Structure formats: C-alpha cells, structure tokens
Chains A and B, each alone.
Chain A
Amino acid sequence: MKLLQSPAVRVGVSISIATGLYGVSFGALSVTSGLDFWQTMALSLLLFSGGSQFAFIGVVAGGGSGIAAMGAATLLGMRNGIYGMQINALLQPRGWRRFAAAHVTIDESTATSTGQTDPLEQQRGFWTAGVGIFILWNLFTAVGALAGASLGDPKQWGLDGAAVAAFLGLLWPRLKGREPVAIAVVCALATVLAVPFVPAGVPILVAAVVAAAIGWFSHGRSDEGLEPDVDPYAEHPHPRPSGDAA
C-alpha cells in the first residue's frame, strides 16, 4: 500500500503500538485505584492524555480528593496547549478537523509530526499517531481494566510499585540535561516536605507552584520537559527526508 511507504505513517503506526500497549498498565492501575470500569474508560476516551490520566488515578489512589485529582491532571495537561499551538501553526486544520485534531493533540502525535520536514508528511504523522494511539490506547485500557478487576489484592501483585514505575517512566525521557534533573529533585523534595502538613493530593499542587515559579524566572530552553513518553524517532535520530520510500 502506497500510504505505508510514507516514513511518517510508518513511525506513526509503530509509536501507536508502543504507546497503545501501555494502556494496559493504565487500565489495571485505574481499577485498582478505586475507579470503576466506566470511569477508567471515560478518562481514556475523553481526557486522553497519558500523564494527566495517571496523575488523576495517582491522586485518587493516594487518598486525595476528586478536586485535587482534577488539579493535578489539569496542570499536567497545560503542555497540550503548547502542542496545539505548534500543530496549528504547522497543519492549520480547518472546520471540524480542528476540533478532532485538538482531541488527539498529545506528546506522541506532536513529536511524530514535528519530526518531519515535509508538510504532507507532518500531516500524515500527526493523524496516524493521534488516531492510532487513540484507538489502541482505549482498546488496551479496556483490557487492563478488565484484567485488573479480577486481580484481587493489588498490593500482592505489586501494583502500587507499578504506579511508581509508571511515573518514573513518564518523567525519565524529560530529564535531558542538568536543569530538568534539578527541577525534578527540588519538586520531589517540596512534595515530601509538604506531605505531613497538608491533605493528600495537595503536595502535588505545591510541587506545581514550585515548578511554575522556576519556569517563570529561569532562562532555560523553552521546550524543556516537552518530550514524548515514547520517542517516535528514538531509533532514527535523523529522520530520512520525506518521500524516501524504503
């Protein structure tokens, strides 16, 4: 098929599979955090942004209130607005496409698109990754939620450890260089110090304020921290020029 010869489509398909698969861990962790099957599916279908979804269930699992969970998820979703600006400048979607594009504007679809130079390839990369991840992420969320519900005691299976690993896995690709590491350490410290003094869920918001203050006053790279969880071009650091069919 001609479309599969497009480098952006191929990258988009492989990133969809890699990202979609870890929807299993989200689904399983969500139901063991106390959300039911449909609440879990609502997050994947409607919120559709991995980091924010994990944040929501992470706060609920830690005994935080619904409003604290909303705060963490919403603050973590701010970067999608930046991605929206980038994609809007690149693809300039019009009419209903603009509303659909907004929904699938996430780390991976943005990275797949901006990694290409040809406008048509940027377009293909964005939609392949965005729609592909949406379908597979929801499918595997459902699989994980159904499997998680039949697990019994989540601690026996180390699912609280799985949540720790998931957050570190989301953080890791963003720790490129000394400044991001310093931000992470300072915010982690602020969190630990806040835990005994404020209600569950609030320490995350304390860290958010610290991080925002650092961003406001610092003069680092303006795209720091805006990396995808799974790098579409990890194995191809220099994407071949578009139209170069293999």
Chain B
Amino acid sequence: MNLWMWLLVSCALAYAWKLLGYLIPASALRDPRMSRIAGTMTIGLLASLTILNTVASGQALALDARLGALAAAGVALLFRAPFLVVVIAGAAAAAGLRMLGWS
C-alpha cells in the first residue's frame, strides 16, 4: 500500500510539472537557466540510472553479466538500432553471459 501511495504522488507531481508549464507566463521562457537545469538534470539522472542498474547490487558494487548488457546496448546504439532492438540486445547479452556461467 505504501508503494501505491508514492506511486500516485509521483503521478500527481508529474502532471503538476506539465501543467505548470502552461500556467506560468511566457516571459519566464526568456530565463534560460531553468531550461538548462532541466536539461542537465535529465542527462545526469539517466546516466546515474544507467550505471546504477549496471553495477549496483543494493548497497554493494558488483561486476556481472549486466556489464555485457551495457556493452551490447552501446554497440546497438552505435549502429543506430531502434530502441526496442537495443533493449533486446541488452537482455540477450545478459542472458547469454549467464548461460555461459558468468553471473
């Protein structure tokens, strides 16, 4: 039930961000600093989530088959593969490496 609550608060806050853009005066658009922070924060959070899902295991760091997934996804992206193919490449690499015995 606790998770449900945070989930619904997240949904409300996500909508609040979106709506806020429609409610604040257009002159605010001229302040580039907020756009810049929104942009750098997007990059920083996605980079953080990428590395966290690759090497974090609770509060410990672990080098395992997920590293192979990161590499495979990187290669797929270099070849301009569509998003879904990138995701499948990551899954296949992790599953394949585990089958070969690398946890």
Contacts and interface: CB of A to CB of B under 8 A. Distances in A.
B76 to A, nearest CB: 8
Contact of A184 (B9, B43, B68): B43
Contacts of A103: 15, 18
A62 B57 CA distance: 7
Interface in B50-87: 50-56, 58-61, 65-66, 68-70, 72-74, 76-77, 82-84, 86-87
Interface residues of B, number: 77
Contacts of B3: 35, 39, 60, 66
A220 B8 CA distance: 35
Contact of A165 (B11, B39, B87): B87
Contact of A161 (B8, B40, B45, B95): B95
Contacts of A120: none
Q: Per DSSP, are chain B's interface residues mostly helix, strand or loop, or mixed?
A: helix
A166 B90 contact: yes
A165 B91 contact: yes
A195 B21 contact: no
B40 to A, nearest CB: 4
Contacts of A204: 45, 48-49, 52
A195 B61 contact: yes
Nearest to A56: B10
B18 to A, nearest CB: 4
A101 B10 CA distance: 19
A18 B83 contact: yes
Contact of B94 (A39, A48, A160, A168): A160
Contacts of A199: 59
A138 interface: no
A148 to B, nearest CB: 11
A21 B84 CA distance: 7
B66 A164 contact: yes
B100 interface: no
Nearest to A154: B91
A31 interface: no
Count chain B CB atoms within 10 A of each CB in A52, A158, A180 and give the residue with the most. Answer: A158
Contacts of A224: 36, 39-40, 43
28 contacts: A22-B83, A25-B87, A56-B7, A70-B13, A74-B10, A76-B46, A78-B41, A80-B14, A80-B17, A99-B19, A105-B21, A158-B91, A162-B90, A165-B88, A166-B87, A167-B46, A167-B50, A168-B50, A174-B39, A183-B44, A184-B44, A191-B51, A215-B33, A215-B36, A215-B41, A221-B39, A225-B39, A225-B43
Given A42-B7, A195-B61, 17 more contacts: A39-B3, A42-B8, A46-B11, A47-B14, A51-B42, A74-B14, A78-B38, A79-B39, A80-B18, A84-B17, A89-B29, A167-B49, A168-B73, A200-B56, A214-B44, A218-B40, A220-B40
